[in-house]
Structure formats: C-alpha cells, structure tokens
Amino acid sequence: MWIQWLFIITILFLIIQNSIIKKWALKKIDYNRQFSKDKVHVGENLKMIEEISNNKILPVPWIKVETKIDKTILFGKEENRVINNETYHSSIFSLLPYIKIKRKYNITPTKRGYYKMNTLSLTCGDFFSVGKINYLDLEVDANLLVYPELVPLKEITLPSHSWKGDIIVRRWIMEDPFMIRGIRPYDYNDAMKGISWLATAKTGELQVNQYDFTADSHLMILLNVDIRSGQWEETENKDIIEKGISYGASIANYSLSQGINTGFGTNGQVVEGDNYFYIKPRGNRNQLLYIYETMAKLKIKRQITFHTLLEEENKKNTYNMDYLLITAYLDERMQLEIDNLRLKGNTVEILYV
C-alpha cells in the first residue's frame, strides 16, 4: 500500500512543481548580450558576453538561450546547431535564487557585414523535464559591424598610366621625399627607407617619416558592384566584388594615413539606405571609419548602373580630382563618362578585379 501512496505523492509533486516552474520560471529573468568590440575587421577576434540573472526566490532548474546567427561568425570551441541551413547558438544555464551569471565566448567573423543578433528565445523546464516547457522571445541590442579585410598594397595591382612614353605614378601614391611633415608609427605597408631611426631610438618602437605631397591631392574611390555590362540580376559571383571592397578599404586606409583627402562612392545598396552611397573626399580622422562602416553595410546589389554613377560625377563639374574606379569590366557608356571626366582636368585610373 505504501508503494501506491509513494507513487501518488510523487505524481502530485511532479505536477505541482511543473505547474510552478511553468508559471514563474521566466518571471523576473533578465538577459543581456554585448560584444567586447562592436566594430572589428574580418578575422579579428572578439568576445560575445552573455549575462543572465534570476531576480526571484524560485530557482530555475534549467534555461536555454538560443539565437540564430550567421554561419560566417565562428565560435571558438563551441559547436552550433544547423537547422535547415540556418545556424543556431545555444547556451544552457541553471539559476539559483537571486543570482547573476556571466559567460564569454570567443568569436571570429570571417566575412564583412552588418550583423544583427537581436532576437533570441528562452526555453525553460522543471527539475525532471516533465510536462510542457515554457518559451519566451526576447530582443536585445546586440549589433556587430565587421569591416572589410585589409590587404597589403603590394598585393594590389595598382594602375599606372603611360603618357608620352613616361610612367606617371598618380599623385595619391607619390610622396615628395624632401617634404617631411611629421613622424608616425610604422605600418606593414611602409618601406624600410622611410624609417626614422632617430625617432625609433627615442620611442623604442619603429617610427617612419610622414611625407607631404607636391599637390593638394583628392582621391575618389568608386566601386562597381556589377560584374558585367547590361547586368540586371543580382551578382552571383560575390567574391569578385568582395575583393574589390577589400582593395578599396586598403587603398583608403593608406591614402588617408598619408594625408590625402579620400572619398568613396558605389552604385550598390547600403543597409538601411534607399539610395546609392557617396562620401565626399575629406581628410579628417573620422573619414576612414566612415568609409569602413559604409563598406561593412554595403550589399552587393545594384542601386543604379555604374555609368549613371559616373554621369552624376560629371554633372558636378569636378576638376583636379584623382578617380580610382574599381570594376570588373569597362563598357562604352562607362568609357564615355570617363573621357568626359578627364576633359574636365581629372585623372581617372581603373583597377580591375
């Protein structure tokens, strides 16, 4: 008889604790997610930080936090679940009364982009996982901006233009070795001949001379997100354009570090934008980050044709500008606009990808 009573009491206990957990487990649960850095370059390591707290006297036997993430974001030693080609990251916690738990995960983004990891689901159950478990959807403010990958300039086949038998190196890459305007830390793109050994000895770190230019240079980088003339559909081979974006970011990084006013424009769409994007050449300290952020948010989807973008440039009647066009092709309509830009006193070079 006592076995029957034990069985009945056990069943009642399971039912009662299950009802309590289902009703109260997700009450007064706070969850927050943030990144150690919210803006990084491709391949740069950072941490995703989770904080969850139970602000009540009732313990929570187990609670699972699940988030859909982009498959290009790699988690250290954690393994993510793949469901219907979508990747999910899960964390499981056991919460005592009035406790806060913090966890850190090493992550590495492998592709530039603007990643929103704002939505998540909380799932909880009772001590014995008996009965229906409870769900709750939450939103947090957790966005990650991944800048393009930077490549050494020596890996980029920079254009040169032959004119009357001479090779003319563009103003935005030609420094005047007789005009030194300062000292700055060494960068892997710098030549050894530019090292200031005196400044290096004083600081204990490699320092290079920062040269001035013989002209007040303005560089405008224009990126074409189409890979062939007359293209109507969305670009399929996106790796070509991704390479062009990395080239543009690397050149902008170098030119701005050399004191050259640099701008960026593209015929592609930008996340949270409804028009093609254009950043006028400037030389202030925030310009490079502005260009990086725009490139991170760039969708490889055409907003206007590239020859239309060049036509808009011609309408501005700009002169004495150095244009660098990053494109996979050149057609007659583009060439016509390029010729018009040159007639106005601008230089135009093409970097094919």
**Residue 352 DSSP SS3:** strand
Give the 3-state secondary structure of residue 279: strand
**3 state SS of 35:** strand
On whether the CB atoms of residues 176 and 214 are closer than 8 A, the answer is yes
pLDDT of residue 172: 44
Cα–Cα dist 95/205, whole Å: 49
> What is the pLDDT at residue 210?
73
17, HSE (Cβ side, Cα atoms, 13 Å): 16
User: Letter for the amino acid at 47?
Assistant: K
Instruction: Name 129's bridge partners.
Output: none
Dihedral sign, CA of 174, 178, 180, 184? Answer: positive
Predicted pLDDT at 211: 62
* Partners of 302 in beta bridges: 268
Following DSSP, what letter does each residue of 81-136 receive, concatenated?
EEETTEEEEEEEEEE-TTEEEEEEEEEEE-S-EEEE--EEEEEEE-TT--S--EEE
**DSSP one-letter string for 41-94:** ETT--EEEEEEEEE-SSS-EEEEEEEEEE-TTEEESS---EEETTEEEEEEEEE
Q: Sign of the CA dihedral 268, 270, 273, 279?
A: negative
Q: What angle do CA 221, 223, 225 make, to 5 degrees?
A: 175
Q: What is the mean pLDDT of each run of 10 residues along the chain (353 residues)?
A: 63 59 75 93 94 90 86 77 67 90 93 90 70 70 94 82 35 51 73 78 81 69 89 79 96 90 93 77 91 95 92 90 94 95 91 93
Q: Which tokens sit at 238?
A: 């996106």
Domain ranges of the chain: 25-147, 153-174+216-352, 175-212
Distance CA 17, CA 131 (A): 10
- Domain 153-174+216-352 in this protein, CATH class: alpha beta
- Cβ burial of 204 (10 Å; 0-12, 13-18, 19+) is exposed
Model pLDDT, residue 237: 84
Q: Which of 20, 90, 24, 28 is nearest to 53 (CA)?
A: 28
What pLDDT sits at residue 161?
47
Q: How far apart are CA 219 and CA 288, in angstroms?
A: 13
Q: Give the model's pLDDT for residue 157.
A: 83
Q: What is the CATH number of domain 25-147?
A: 2.60.40.10
Helix, strand or coil, per DSSP, at residue 131: coil
Helices (H), the chain: 2-24, 197-203, 238-257, 287-296, 306-315, 332-343
Q: What is the reported pLDDT for 86?
A: 64
- Closest by alpha carbon to 343, among 309, 318, 307? 318
CB 225, CB 267: distance < 8 Å? yes
How distant, in Å, are the alpha carbons of 65, 223, 313 from that of 304?
A: 42, 12, 13
Which residues, in sequence order, are bridge partners of residue 68? 88
Same topology between domain 25-147 and domain 153-174+216-352: no
